[in-house]
Amino acid sequence: MPPRMLPEPTPETRHFWDGCREGELRLQRCTSCQDSYFPPRPFCPHCGSRDVEVYKASGEGVLWSYVINQRPRPDMGTEPYAIAVVKLAEGPTMMTNIVDCPQTPEALQLDMPVKVSFSKQSDDISLPLFAPVKG
Amino acid sequence: MSWKQKSVAVVGAAETTRMGKIPDVSVIGLHADAALNAMADAGLKPSDIDGVATAGISPVELAHYLGIKPTYADGTSVGGCSFMLHVRHAAAAINAGLATTILITHGESGRSRVGAGGFGRSPSSLMGQFEMPYGPVGPPTMFTVPVLRYLKTHGLKPEDMAPVATIQREWAALNPRASFKDPITVDDVMNADMIAWPFTKLMCCLVTDGGGALILTSAERAKDFPQKPVYVLGTGESVETPMVSQMYDFNHSTAFRISGKKAFETAGISHADVDHLMIYDAFAHLPLYGLEDLGFVKPGEAAAFIKERNTAPPSGGKPGGKLPLNTNGGGLSYMHSGMYGMYALQESVRQMRGTAAAQVPGAKISVSHGVGGMFAASGTIVFSNEAP
């Protein structure tokens, strides 16, 4: 299997990927209007303010939508997998994969609670994946 | 209105000579074939063209390849609806005196990949960082991502999307140039190969080779051309997000709503005035979003509207629906080279000229609505065969 396609952080996104490597899901929010947003950028997309801060998010959310890809990309293995979007407790949506869960419509129920789980891919990059919250 | 859209018309329109599998023609060759066909349709030579617009290749490549020395060039490239935006910009440009006769071309070797680039994203782009690591493989696994949320919001099931495919196949059966013409049932759609659950192969567009071209000029000059002029009544455009996961709302397209509203407003028409509709259908959910976001039906009502045959051709003695939709068979059954918007525009022009294979009798107003990227962009054109 070829190595997984990985992100190349830019100066504007470095804090996010550093956080993932250190086991924290880091979001940004505007200190003027308090809105949380994603993906990272050095200003608030709602009000345009440059007064924004990075903070540690809860890592909690719900499964918002997905498809189950039946034709796996070579770097993703050979079994069908869900390309999912979670809606974070703080508001933003984020594409991800759902782990520790069968990749079936029966197991992948919309609105089920999920929690972040970091998957180390290289010395620099860990991907934020999400697992169902048990019980 | 700050400028008069009504003073512009399509005077040349054509697709490539062949469609489907064209392994002996490169991308730029498809652009040129369509352009030459459109010029022949309009009775023009390259030296008569003073404006060019295209996407996929650069307008520089297009102009030089055809020997055109333009005073206007538009390289807007926002995906498959780029050509709707080109029409809109051309209308403004003609009114502003930037050019008199503007050629818009599309050509794509979607299937044969002759002289075509790849589908690549830089790993440092936003999509490269925040979507590609999770395994998407092109549009079938990205364009489709919001749909489960949409279905749940409205209490719908995947099979509620199937009539989009079956009814468009009925239209395709009336079109000799359509790629697929054999009838299909809802069961056929649901039992077809699964591509990305809940989307089966018959809910996904074709991948073919082809192209098309349009020529626009002022309505005043349009009367002197050999073809019946097709007037541009109103136009709209918008862009939303480069990442489908960042749509403002998975239940509707913000770009569709902005573009459609602007087009209807500038045309000064209501929904009841529309005789014929094209909604870019790369996948079966797009006509649902389109019908709702353009305002033809309320949110959540489009699937039932299609199932109840409101968009269908006449069949078995029953009259056709009140809103004929995707009458060429659409991207699902007619053709889809990658940037389908040009073919939606071509079918609208044919319907307004009265030359479509599945002609809507007496149609006077046609709306052509496009999407670009994966819900990234939108463009809407309102055409009429009556001078405004």
CB B222 within 8 A of CB B230: no
Question: Distance between CA atoms of B253 and B250, rounded to whole angstroms?
Answer: 7
Q: What is the mean pLDDT of chain B?
A: 95
> Which residue of A21, A65, A76, A117 is the best one to mutate when testing the B interface, meaning the one whose CB has the most B CBs within 10 A?
A65
The answer, yes or no, to whether residue B374 has pLDDT greater than 90, is yes
Q: At what angle do helices B254-267 and B286-293 cross, to 10 degrees?
A: 50
3-state secondary structure chain B: CCCCHHHEEEEEEEECCCCECCCCCCHHHHHHHHHHHHHHHHCCCHHHCCEEEECCCCHHHHHHHHCCCCCEEECCCCCCCHHHHHHHHHHHHHHHCCCCCEEEEEEEECCCCCCCCCCCCCCCCHHHHHCHHHCCCCHHHCCCCCHHHHHHHCCCCHHHHHHHHHHHHHHHHCCCCCCCCCCCCHHHHHHCCEEEECEEHHHECCCCEEEEEEEEEEHHHHCCCCCCCEEEEEEEEEECCCCHHHCCCCCCCHHHHHHHHHHHHHHCCCHHHCCEEEECCCECCHHHHHHHHCCCCCCCCHHHHHHCCCCCCCECCECCCCCCECCCCHHHHCCCCCCCHHHHHHHHHHHHHCCCCCCCCCCCEEEEEEEECCCCEEEEEEEECCCC
Question: Distance between CA atoms of B332 and B204, rounded to whole angstroms?
Answer: 6
Nearest to B249, CA basis, from A96, A87, A111: A87
Question: Distance between CA atoms of B85 and B74, rounded to whole angstroms?
Answer: 10
Chain segment B216-236, per-residue pLDDT in tens? 999 999 999 999 999 999 999
CA distance A134 to chain B (A): 22
For chain A, the distance separating the N- and C-terminal CA atoms, rounded to the nearest angstrom, is 34
Q: Do the domain assignments include residue B295?
A: yes
CA-based nearest residue in chain A for residue B148? A65
Q: Do the domain assignments include residue B25?
A: yes
* Per-residue model confidence (pLDDT) at position B2: 41
Q: Do residue B135 and residue A69 have CB atoms under 8 angstroms apart? A: yes
Nearest to B93, CA basis, from B160, B7, B167: B7
Chain segment B145-173, per-residue pLDDT in tens? 999 999 999 999 999 999 999 999 999 99
Q: Percent of chain B having pLDDT more than 90?
A: 92
Nearest CB partner across the interface for B133, out of A4, A64, A81 = A4
Q: Do residue B126 and residue A70 have CB atoms under 8 angstroms apart? A: no
Q: Do the domain assignments include residue B326?
A: yes
* Per-residue model confidence (pLDDT) at position B3: 43
* Per-residue model confidence (pLDDT) at position B131: 96
CB B102 within 8 A of CB B217: yes
Q: State the residue for tokens 């006769």.
A: B101
Chain segment B20-38, per-residue pLDDT in tens? 999 999 999 999 999 999 9
CA distance B70 to chain A (A): 38
Q: Do residue B135 and residue A8 have CB atoms under 8 angstroms apart? A: no
What element of type H or E holds A41? none
Q: Do the domain assignments include residue B142?
A: no
Q: What pTM was computed for the model?
A: 0.95
- Kindly report the CATH number assigned to the domain that includes residue B232: 3.40.47.10
* Per-residue model confidence (pLDDT) at position B6: 56
* Per-residue model confidence (pLDDT) at position B323: 98
* Per-residue model confidence (pLDDT) at position B120: 63
ipTM: 0.93
Chain segment B304-342, per-residue pLDDT in tens? 999 999 999 999 888 999 999 999 999 999 999 899 999
Nearest CB partner across the interface for B149, out of A64, A72, A95 = A64
> For the residues A99-123, what does the mean pLDDT come to?
98
Q: Do residue B149 and residue A4 have CB atoms under 8 angstroms apart? A: no
Q: Do residue B133 and residue A84 have CB atoms under 8 angstroms apart? A: no
Chain segment B170-182, per-residue pLDDT in tens? 999 999 999 999 9
> For the residues A92-110, what does the mean pLDDT come to?
98
Chain segment B49-107, per-residue pLDDT in tens? 999 999 999 999 999 999 999 999 999 999 999 999 999 999 999 999 999 999 999 99
For residues A23 and B111, the model is more confident at A23
B131 neighbourhood in chain A, CB within 8 Å:
95
Q: Do the domain assignments include residue B120?
A: no
* Per-residue model confidence (pLDDT) at position A1: 84
> Which residue of A4, A21, A94, A95 is the best one to mutate when testing the B interface, meaning the one whose CB has the most B CBs within 10 A?
A95
A10 neighbourhood in chain B, CB within 8 Å:
124, 129
> For the residues B277-286, what does the mean pLDDT come to?
98
Rama region for B245: left / alpha / beta (φ>0; ψ in -120 to 50; rest): alpha
Angle at B347 between CA B341 and CA B350, to 5 degrees: 145
Residues 101-120 of A with CB under 8 A from B: 105, 110-111
DSSP state for residue A3 in the 8-state scheme: P
Q: Do residue A97 and residue B135 have CB atoms under 8 angstroms apart? A: yes
> For the residues A4-29, what does the mean pLDDT come to?
96
Angle at B328 between CA B208 and CA B223, to 5 degrees: 110
Give residue B200's Cα distance to chain centre. 22
Split into its structural domains, chain B has a count of 1
Q: Do residue B135 and residue A85 have CB atoms under 8 angstroms apart? A: no
pLDDT band at B116 (very low <50, low <70, confident <90, very high): confident
Q: Do the domain assignments include residue B150?
A: no
**Phi and psi of B133, rounded to 5°?**
-60, -15
Question: Distance between CA atoms of B318 and A124, rounded to whole angstroms?
Answer: 64
Nearest CB partner across the interface for B123, out of A7, A76, A85 = A7
pLDDT band at B117 (very low <50, low <70, confident <90, very high): low
Chain segment B1-11, per-residue pLDDT in tens? 444 455 899 99
> For the residues B346-350, what does the mean pLDDT come to?
98
A81 neighbourhood in chain B, CB within 8 Å:
135
Q: Do the domain assignments include residue B10?
A: yes
Residue B12 structural domain: 5-115+205-384
CA-based nearest residue in chain A for residue B138? A73
